[in-house]
Chain A
Amino acid sequence: GAGVSQSPRYKVAKRGQDVALRCDPISGHVSLFWYQQALGQGPEFLTYFQNEAQLDKSGLPSDRFFAERPEGSVSTLKIQRTQQEDSAVYLCASSSRLAGGLDEQYFGPGTRLTVT
């Protein structure tokens, strides 16, 4: 079956522009996670949704970052007024478990964001 998909796969933004990154989780998965992976580093947790509820946004680095999942399926990560330090790969993952942070997560291929 289809896995987690993300779009766009690559995004170049000029500093100060707003960007929106999309995640399509595996159908029926209740848990959805966003991660930021800087070059040469491991992914870092950004935020977690259980269905449409954003239960944990403790990893969002600033108020320029905003995520939503209005119907409990597709999610969008929005970054306003992009800065060079936002350049990274943004990963989305989903899980069939309510306690998705305790079990296997299925990862998308990521969106590579470059801010110039």
Chain B
Amino acid sequence: AQSVTQLDSHVSVSEGTPVLLRCNYSSSYSPSLFWYVQHPNKGLQLLLKYTSAATLVKGINGFEAEFKKSETSFHLTKPSAHMSDAAEYFCVVTSPGTSGTYKYIFGTGTRLKVLA
């Protein structure tokens, strides 16, 4: 069965310092992986996705993630945090559903706090 673990429920960084949000996954096949961001009172928005092409994936707003199969990790990074990055971040792995379909499995989320 597919699963995803976000290793930190809360992360605090100072504005201008690097961001690291950790995600480990478990999958019995080569999965697709995503990072989504959820700002208060807004819908989930895709940051980036890995679909078996380049292992280093660049996303929106300066975020990137590296797929490491040997470590079953897909950590999200950003060189310099902005106040506007404060939000909840979700790591997602795809999983087979029924009737030949696929579905998302979400992690429990990491709340990022950015200090002025």
Q: Which residues of A contact B (CB under 8 A)?
A: 3-4, 33, 35, 40-45, 48, 50, 55-59, 91, 93, 99-110
Contact of B106 with A42 in the complex, beta carbons under 8 Å: yes
What range describes how many residues of B lie at the interface? 20 to 34
> What are 17 A-B pairs with beta-carbon distances under 8 A?
A35-B104, A40-B109, A42-B109, A43-B44, A43-B90, A43-B106, A50-B101, A55-B101, A56-B97, A56-B103, A101-B97, A101-B104, A102-B32, A102-B51, A105-B104, A107-B45, A109-B41
Contact of A48 with B46 in the complex, beta carbons under 8 Å: no
Contact with A along B33-67 (1 / 0, CB 8 A): 01010000111111001010000000000000000
Q: Which of A4, A55, A103, A105 contacts B97 (CB 8 A)?
A: A55
Interface centre among A41, A99, A101, A110 (most CB of B within 10 A): A101
